[in-house]
Structure 1
Amino acid sequence: MPATLTYPGVYIVELQNPMHNITGVATSITAFVGYTATGIDNRAQAIYSFSDFARLFGGLAIDSELSYAVLQFFLNGGTTGYVIRVPHHNATPASVEVTGASAIDLTFTALSSGVWANGQITIDIDYDGIDFSLPGVDPSTFNVTITNLSGNVVETFPQVSLNGTRQNYVANVINDFDTGSQLVKMSEAADPTNPLRKNTPEVSGVLGKRIQRNSGELLFFDKTKTTPQLIDKNYTLTLQVPKPKNSLPDIKDVNVLLKDAPIPVSSAAIASQVQSALANAVALNWNGATLRFIATKSNADDVLRAVASIPTLPDAQVVFSGTAAAPLGLDVTPTNVAHYALGTGNAIEGQKTSVAGTDPGNQLPFSADLVGDPASFKGIYALEKVDLFNLLVIPDATRALAGSPATPDPNVSGADVFPPAIAYCQQRRAFLLVDPPPDATTVTAALDWKTSMAITPPENGACFFPRLRLPDPVNNYQLRTFAPSGVVAGLFARIDGSRGVWKAPAGTEASLTGVQAFSYHNQLTDTENGVLNPIGVNCFRNFPLYGPVLWGSRTLAGADAEASQWKYVPVRRLALFLEESLYRGTKWAVFEPNDEPLWASLRLSIGSFMNGLFRKGAFQGQSPNAAYFVKCDNETTTQNDIDSGVVNVLVGFAPLIPAEFVVIQIQQMAGQVQT
């Protein structure tokens, strides 16, 4: 009713719809936990294609089981995943400490542990585009550029400050979880909150001095003259790399400014002309190297900077000499390293220390590394930072020794990894895909493995046999044996998308893309399949016309002897889907008055959601009443519940049980007497 009725007539009042729409959650977001070549340690990062994985984690690596699982996931129909990189056992990250006047010590440490970052991540500091004469410009302002040479990734953080009282304090900017660096983190030894700190770190990449305008010094341009002047002779440059010791040849006598050519009218024009002249010479003589000349202003002076990038020598110094050195203001004596480089072990000029990252023993993650620690969000518990995932894949848990695909790696054990993993899946309403151990290469071994398995709660996972053989792109497409979980996760995603989570991800349409053979070299017979299926082992089969397929859809609780209500994968995953969807879709009810209007609204909202699924074929029954029910009233919620602030909703559904056994009865008809 309107607040005030003041005149005779008709009043229109809009009422709130008591029904709140509930949207079903995704069902096949897959989390991968294990070793990758590169990438941020123990941080879940979303990927939507294998290109994303290659960009963030380095792509396929021969010792990374996870990298192949991700590739197989996308090849078989997967669309969305998260990857948690677990580094080598006891690996440490590379770092570099940049120093300046008055104890300015900035330490940059790689977010990814291991030797891969040594010499591959560089830090550049400059003052390009910063006019300190302007009011309000902090005197400790500078620019930071962070480069991953191996991945060709460049991050820029312009105009950051050493003043810890400012919003653009360098550590806060670089360490920001969302918008900061994805390559390094930064720490500072000095007190960042001291507002009197004005000293800044030494500039990297600077081998040139300012273009001075002192009388008597030859200049290539003069703003006081109104008519263009001609250059009086050819000017050349010679480039050398004297430190560190290397085999790079000198680049001699490159013409950068020609006699009688027009005088460049700005420092930017000089930079462009010199860079163009040197580009070809550098590219031809120094493999993979680049050289940039940058013209800018600093403290009201024109500045010409030469920045060399030599991937094979990240801490190289480039020295200029020749007839153009003095007129261009290029110093013939190096004053700094070309880059501050992580992990080189060198302490040169402003680079105080550079500590190499390590991979002690080059050991892949142990069981404890994969499981991780919930307090520090490592291992599987890095998923605490992820809003939703549905499937969990840990191919390293059943890793084989390199070069021996049937020998388990003694440093990992599924018996140590899978129990905490499935317990975590139960907390997150997710489903664990359990790989067989490498030595389970026979039906008898698979039988022993399943019967000795102690993974609870078993309804939140499924296991598969045997391991799969696929071409290895890293090894000239030779067949290699892999854990099947990546393929299975992609298959689950494909069936979910085409048929729904209530359809068993098995059968003739559950084809396995890329699979060429199985680790069990004999073709599984119906009899052998009949030994493993009743104990809840889902088998891969190869049929004429259909090829390799997944021929089973039972959970770890799917043994006939257990008689579990969660015997089948689609029934359990449908229940998890309903639980997660209703959990998220009914949060609006929190703190609402706990009485019949709320109960009616809950019945209406949940009933509408369930009816939509019924119409899609998710439940048994010819009518909604036979397929599901929603009960929320004074029978489910007693006065004691109301007094305790509790509202109870009872939701029931009739699941679609997969037709695991199709029985065809044939009856012979007696001869018919024709009338």
Structure 2
Amino acid sequence: MPNYLSPGVYVEEVSSGVKPIAGVGTSVGAFIGLTEKGTVGKATLVTNWSQYVSEFGGFIPSAYLSYAVYNFFAEGGTSCYVVRVAPEDAKTATYTVKDNSEDAVDLFEISARSKGAWGNRISFEIGRASNSTGTPEDLRFKLVVKYKESFDDEYTGDTEGEIVEIFDGLLMINIEEKINEVSSFVKVKVLRDLTSLEEMERVPVFNDSEEESAINLRNGADGRSAVKDYLNTETGIHAFDVIDEINIMAAPDVADLDGGRDIIIEMLNYCKQRGDCFFVADPPHGLTPSAVKEFKEGIGQFLGTNPLNSSYGALYYPWVFVNDPLTGKKKLVPPSGAVIGTYAYVDSTRGVHKAPAGTSDGYLDTAVGIERIITKGEQEILNPIGINVIRALPEGICIWGARTLSSDAEWQYINIRRLMMYIEESIDKGSQWVVFEPNDPSLWGKVKRNLSAFLTRVWRDGALYGSTQEEAFFIKVDEENNPPATRDVGQLIIEVGVAPVKPAEFVIIRVSQKTLAK
């Protein structure tokens, strides 16, 4: 309480005690898998396709992650985080530069910024600095790095497109500092001990003359061994641990991987442990309806593995055809990328409470075909066990299912699970101010007002069922659920109940004849 020592008018600013709860985001994607290039085991934010290509490269014929991210943005996604995994035998392209002395000692190593055959498309030239005096005493030199954007003849035969980086005025003592934190393509490692003046004054061999063309980095390789890093505690899925914003996750390259089903189970568990993320799984390609049922239930050819049973994930079948920007032909890909993009689009246009399915909200713009036509009778077998079928309908190729992988009827719908995740996380983040406040009826009233205001907005958006607030939700925080024994141990118990709107999955129209009275 301020002290007032002289007569006058005093204006004070006081808090209303109401701290509005803002809804959290629900449509940030998370992708993990094989890419052409990029740092391994680091979650990187990507907000458009061009940014993805700059960071991770283009399409790889033998991998699906790039196609998934491309379809994600094409279907309406706006931002995602990407983690690159790589085979153990993947190698970084390098070249060792020697000095111009008679001994030709190793001076420094130039290497691509990440593993993969992409680094073999990097070349470099070394020459005198632009403003060099040309005297032996002038030790400055210039490094020109060139990168061919297109794939080599193995893929398209196109070798056009080149990006150039120029680093001028270099010395042995500053080459790492000037290049490593600046270049998008290469890193430099000095191989000499620069504590002596003699070593600092060494100069690399120049190769910018007409007689000697640019030198390519060498021995970069994508690797052929099985990828085991998906579940690595640091470089695999746990690279997302430090990213709080992600909501929808996919790993499209896992679908056809040996042991991929076990990885899917671990990723479902990961999302459950986080409590704020939903995993969209892909089955292996080429499965019949009965085989994909076995895949989900862990029976038949998949006997000996656990069933896919989680409310924090969904399974979509079959795979879809897309137009391949790499070849111009149709390519069969896992559906998860397009599905997650549809999630994001529906979240922004209708809300997280709307099931991402149907002829409108489930329409897949990027799909030009499906691997297998699924009949209504086949879907009657798959839908009840939580396999969401992608159908070819007169309206187009559409998602025709909205169920989670859970066997619990309470959590069988995707939009219910994701709505509850949204409400829980929003309340969690919006109620942090309550911690350490005096635990008394005054606080209880403030908390109830804050939660009521937030849930009223959710109800008015159409996410909660009921014609009144009382029917849509309740909030209980009073003496009954916060007796002295509870307050004595520093706890504040808040009970919240909501009535989410469930999707009209089965529309039944009863038609009968009307008999006219005489």
Work out the CA distance in 2 between the residues paired with 1:190 and 1:634. Answer: 73
Alignment of 1:564-579 (within 5 A): 564-579=409-424
Work out the CA distance in 2 between the residues paired with 1:141 and 1:594. Answer: 71
Equivalent residue in structure 2 for 1:512, among 364, 369, 392: 364
Aligned residues: 492
Task: Assess, with a 3 A threshold, how the Cα gap between structure 1 residues 206 and 122 changes in structure 2: closer, same or farther.
Answer: closer
Work out the CA distance in 1 between the residues paired with 2:379 and 2:164. Answer: 53
Residue 200 of structure 2 aligns to a residue whose secondary structure is coil
Q: Is 1:395 paired with 2:245?
A: no
Partner of 2:377: 527
Does the 8 A contact of 1:511 with 1:549 survive in 2?
yes
Residue 404 of structure 2 aligns to a residue whose secondary structure is coil
Partner of 1:601: 446
Equivalent residue in structure 2 for 1:550, among 399, 420, 428: 399
Residue 532 of structure 1 aligns to a residue whose secondary structure is helix
Task: Assess, with a 3 A threshold, how the Cα gap between structure 1 residues 140 and 205 changes in structure 2: closer, same or farther.
Answer: closer
Q: Which amino acid aligns with 1:603?
A: K
Offset at residue 499 of structure 1 (A): 0.6
Partner of 1:118: 120
Unpaired stretches in structure 1, ≥5 consecutive residues:
132-138, 164-168, 208-238, 244-312, 316-340, 344-355, 400-410
Residue 72 of structure 2 aligns to a residue whose secondary structure is helix
Residue 475 of structure 1 aligns to a residue whose secondary structure is coil
Offset at residue 570 of structure 1 (A): 0.1
Offset at residue 396 of structure 1 (A): 0.7
Partner of 1:22: 21
Q: Is 1:467 paired with 2:314?
A: no
Work out the CA distance in 2 between the residues paired with 1:185 and 1:83. Answer: 22
Does the 8 A contact of 2:98 with 2:205 survive in 1?
no
Q: Is 1:438 paired with 2:285?
A: yes
Does the 8 A contact of 2:172 with 2:202 survive in 1?
no
Work out the CA distance in 2 between the residues paired with 1:591 and 1:123. Answer: 62
Partner of 1:632: 477
Residue 576 of structure 1 aligns to a residue whose secondary structure is helix
Deviates more, 1:587-596 or 1:139-148: 139-148
Residue 412 of structure 1 aligns to a residue whose secondary structure is coil
Partner of 1:7: 6
Work out the CA distance in 2 between the residues paired with 1:123 and 1:623. Answer: 73
Alignment of 1:258-269 (within 5 A): none
Q: Is 1:382 paired with 2:239?
A: yes
Work out the CA distance in 1 between the residues paired with 2:506 and 2:377. Answer: 14
Partner of 2:153: none
Work out the CA distance in 2 between the residues paired with 1:158 and 1:654. Answer: 65
Partner of 1:502: 353
Alignment of 1:195-234 (within 5 A): 199=200, 202=203
Residue 666 of structure 1 aligns to a residue whose secondary structure is coil
Task: Assess, with a 3 A threshold, how the Cα gap between structure 1 residues 563 and 33 changes in structure 2: closer, same or farther.
Answer: closer
Q: Which amino acid aligns with 2:398?
A: V
Deviates more, 1:53-62 or 1:530-539: 53-62
Work out the CA distance in 1 between the residues paired with 2:439 and 2:185. Answer: 50
Work out the CA distance in 2 between the residues paired with 1:79 and 1:573. Answer: 18
Which digits, 9 at most, give the CA deviation of each residue in 1:557-581, with x for residues without a partner? Answer: 1xxxx34311100000111112222
Offset at residue 36 of structure 1 (A): 1.6
Residue 149 of structure 1 aligns to a residue whose secondary structure is strand
Q: Is 1:482 paired with 2:333?
A: yes
Residue 12 of structure 1 aligns to a residue whose secondary structure is coil
Partner of 1:357: 220
Does the 8 A contact of 1:45 with 1:82 survive in 2?
yes
Equivalent residue in structure 1 for 2:232, among 351, 373, 388: 373
Which digits, 9 at most, give the CA deviation of each residue in 1:342-392, with x for residues without a partner? Answer: 33xxxxxxxxxxxx32344x45x52x23x1411xx2122222343311111
Residue 7 of structure 1 aligns to a residue whose secondary structure is coil
Task: Assess, with a 3 A threshold, how the Cα gap between structure 1 residues 172 and 615 changes in structure 2: closer, same or farther.
Answer: farther
Higher-Rg structure is 1
Work out the CA distance in 2 between the residues paired with 1:593 and 1:173. Answer: 55
Offset at residue 448 of structure 1 (A): 1.7
Residue 651 of structure 1 aligns to a residue whose secondary structure is strand
Alignment of 1:150-299 (within 5 A): 150-151=148-149, 152-153=162-163, 180-188=182-190, 199=200, 202=203, 240-241=210-211, 243=212
Offset at residue 548 of structure 1 (A): 1.3
Work out the CA distance in 2 between the residues paired with 1:476 and 1:550. Answer: 25
Task: Assess, with a 3 A threshold, how the Cα gap between structure 1 residues 601 and 182 changes in structure 2: closer, same or farther.
Answer: farther
Q: Which amino acid aligns with 1:390?
A: N
Offset at residue 170 of structure 1 (A): 6.2
Partner of 2:79: 80
Work out the CA distance in 2 between the residues paired with 1:583 and 1:140. Answer: 63
Work out the CA distance in 1 between the residues paired with 2:147 and 2:109. Answer: 19
Equivalent residue in structure 2 for 1:663, among 500, 503, 508: 508
Offset at residue 589 of structure 1 (A): 3.2
Q: Which amino acid aligns with 1:499?
A: R
Partner of 2:157: none
Task: Assess, with a 3 A threshold, how the Cα gap between structure 1 residues 660 and 181 changes in structure 2: closer, same or farther.
Answer: same
Offset at residue 422 of structure 1 (A): 1.4
Q: Percent identity?
A: 32
Which digits, 9 at most, give the CA deviation of each residue in 1:436-461, with x for residues without a partner? Answer: 21231x22112222221736661000
Work out the CA distance in 2 between the residues paired with 1:583 and 1:148. Answer: 49
Work out the CA distance in 1 between the residues paired with 2:190 and 2:489. Answer: 51
Does the 8 A contact of 1:435 with 1:485 survive in 2?
yes
Does the 8 A contact of 2:317 with 2:390 survive in 1?
yes
Work out the CA distance in 2 between the residues paired with 1:463 and 1:386. Answer: 24
Work out the CA distance in 1 between the residues paired with 2:429 and 2:178. Answer: 34
RMSD over aligned Cα, in angstroms?
Answer: 3.4
Task: Assess, with a 3 A threshold, how the Cα gap between structure 1 residues 5 and 493 changes in structure 2: closer, same or farther.
Answer: same
Which digits, 9 at most, give the CA deviation of each residue in 1:135-189, with x for residues without a partner? Answer: xxxx9997886735123455677888877xxxxx76567666xxx5443445455
Residue 424 of structure 2 aligns to a residue whose secondary structure is helix
Does the 8 A contact of 1:415 with 1:454 survive in 2?
no
Work out the CA distance in 2 between the residues paired with 1:606 and 1:190. Answer: 64
Q: Which amino acid aligns with 2:35?
A: T
